[in-house]
Amino acid sequence: MPNYSHSKLKAFEICPLQYKFIYMDRMPRREEGIEGFLGTRFHEAMEELYKNLKFKIPTLEELLEFYEYHWDKDYSDKLIIVKENLAAKDYKNLGNKFITDYYKRYYPFNQSITLGLEKGISIDLLGDGKYKLNGYIDRIALAPDNVYEIHDYKTSGSLTEQKYLDEDRQLSIYQLGVEKMWPDAKTVKLIWHYIAFDKEMASARTPEHLDRVKNEVIKTISRIENTKEFLPTESALCQWCSFADICPKKKHMFQVEALPKNEYLNDDGVKLVNEFSVKTAELTALRQEYAQKAKEIEESLGKIREAVINYAKTQNMEVIYGSDYKLTVKNKPKVSGPKKDTKERAALEQAIKEINKWAETSTLDTGYLEKVITENLWPAELTEKISKFLLVEPRTTVSLSKLKDPSCEDKRDK
């Protein structure tokens, strides 16, 4: 069984295809985003700071020099900068500010004793080698009263709400690792440093919470292990995805974006979509026109129908003859039941079951069965039991939709 980590599980939860590219196909990534690069440089600076503390406290100038040296050494023009109004130097300055704020806030860094930096952890959730997790903790420290602290640095531009930190899986996993390494760790404090906000946030876990996390992780790993098709899942995070150029949902946009403004209209794909949308608009207009005509005809037919019923009733007739057709008028009650998912509907179903007539009246929902098969709604062993009765045929659908989110979906300058 492969090893998992919080990032690996998260990659699958965000987009199974991205997970496959990274962890199964080991595809080389396209360029990194500058936010990730800045985060790595900040982590390096923190490692440098705490590593040297046992000898002496580095000055802020020394630390900034270290940061700038590594920024310049590892910087590449290929780094992706999504925000159009920002340049690389803005991010470099931001890193400078992050380090300065952190340094001033915690100087002389004697709040706790550092036990490990970028410390690797390894957990075997059930002890049978089937569900193994790895991770790297930014900093583990021992505070007064034998409180173990797990520190995590966040350089993102958004401050996570406390309720999400109280449910955060990553640091829960780290706590499991710390408790395994130091069985005397009875009190563990989870600490997040939101560097962009010069803010420290904390949370704690109960044994019950950790058990729940373990069970959820086991379920997610089982889902990954049972997945046969790793399908792309679009989200706002696609704009930072390193595989957009090979992803079936994004590669065409990627190709088109690279074309000069006056050339993209010659792209075969663009031509087909444009033609498709024009024809769809024509078809919609025509359908509306015919729908209006159909409505008018239906209305006049309704009036004639009324007249026929009236005629049959007053003349006491069941069949009325025309030149080429005849009309039969029957009085037959229409039966309808309560709507789906209502109490009344449930009561009706129960009543039918009680008189052993359910088999005669219930019908199979084939639309739902299709979802069961294509979206893996049931565990594999249950699906297997019904698969033999179903005919699964290849089908290709083509649907037209408007580009909704200009920042993510369509960045062309039209």
The distance of closest approach from Cβ of residue 256 to ligand SF4 in the complex, given in angstroms and rounded to an integer, is 15
Beta bridge partners of 191: 151, 202
Please, are residues 138 and 152 in contact by the beta-carbon 8 Å criterion?
yes
CB of 85 to ligand SF4, least distance (A): 24
Is the Cβ of residue 385 or residue 404 nearer to ligand SF4 in the bound state?
404
Instruction: With beta carbons less than 8 A apart as the criterion, state whether 13 and 219 touch.
Output: no
Buried b (16+ CB within 10 A) or exposed e, 173-192: bbbbbbbebeeebeebbbbb
Place of tokens 């379920």: 219
CA distance 403 to 283: 20
Binding site residues, ligand SF4, CB under 6 A = 15, 17-18, 232-234, 237-238, 241, 243-244, 247, 249-250
**Closest separation between CB of residue 251 and ligand SF4, Å?**
8
H helices of 107-206, in order, are: 162-165, 169-181
Output the smallest distance, CB 79 to ligand SF4, in A.
18
Beta carbon nearer to ligand SF4, 33 or 116: 33
Query: Nearest approach, Cβ of 409 to ligand SF4 (angstroms)?
Result: 11
Three-state SS at 230: coil
Nearer to ligand SF4, 210 or 244 (CB): 244
Q: Measure Cα distances from 235 to 91, 294, 313 in Å.
A: 25, 41, 63
Residue 99 or 247: which CB sits closer to ligand SF4? 247
Q: Which of 86, 52, 54, 76 is nearest to 66 (CA)?
A: 52
Q: How far is the CB of 21 from ligand SF4 (least distance, A)?
A: 7
Nearer to ligand SF4, 231 or 278 (CB): 231
Q: Give the pair of three-digit tokens for residue 120.
A: 């690797």
Give 82 or 382: the residue with its C-beta nearer to ligand SF4: 82
Cis bond before residue 108 (omega within 30° of 0): yes
